[in-house]
Amino acid sequence: MRKAAALAAVAAVAAAAAIAVRQRLREARRWARVAAVLSDLQERCVAPAARLLQVSDAMDVEMRAGLASEDGSKLKMLVTYVDSLPSGDEKGLFYALDLGGTNFRVLRVQLGGKEQRVIKQESVGVSIPQHLMSRSSHELFDFIAAALAKFVASEGEDYHLPEGTQRELGFTFSFPVKQTSISSGTLIKWTKGFAIEEMVGKDIVAELNEAIKRQGLVMKVSTLVNDTVGTLAAGRYVDNDTMVAVILGTGTNAAYIEHGDAIPKWHAPLPKSGDMVSSLVFTSAPMNATLEG
């Protein structure tokens, strides 16, 4: 009886061991398949140095062609008017409006120069009602200006505006724009769900300034930039060696510092700095690029 029980126990142990071995073999085969898939993916994704150099050279050619003429390249480079970036010496009270999609953000910051840098800052985000994205430009910009006026009205006594000056606004507008000056630009097209056709071809800064006036707010837009230029400026403020900014989001673009004399289609006098911020906006094929400021 005991012998039979012992044999049964041995058989059970052997069966359990066999099951465990089979499970381990299945796991091993499964992990082998996973490893094969990962190895194949890695092989497919590898970009040899020679191929990367080809891509780099092709981009360089297209960028230079785009800077030379309006229609000479797959990269449509729009001339920027930003010829200098923050140094960290800036002092005073500054406002900013960032409109890049279905939400926008308003911000105020008190800068204290090299010693104090950012003394104080506040911001608020606002969602744009969907119906305003396809109605009229007046309605959209009146809504934005009203939110801006409310935000300015909340300004505390610890923010100091130099006597005799009015509030100035930096405007980040992350849509395709052809700039005509540092503080003006015409809308090329809407993206990100906006469809106010009457605004296409018009000066977006003029539209915002008029809406600000209708709110009775003493403020004007002093600078128009896109998101990459704003990112580059923010990077330069904290690190003077910053030369490039990249945005990876709904759209993908980059900004860099270019020598003014490398932009043949720039027919105005070169800026004192000799430089110009260039911003490339990449979209799906065919690839486009935009030089905005």
Catalytic residues: 105, 174, 227
Residues facing 98 on adjacent strands: 105, 172
CB contact at 8 A, 279 and 293: yes
What backbone phi and psi angles, to 5 degrees, belong to 184? -155, 155
Alpha carbons 174 and 116: distance in angstroms, whole number? 30
Alpha carbons 74 and 173: distance in angstroms, whole number? 23
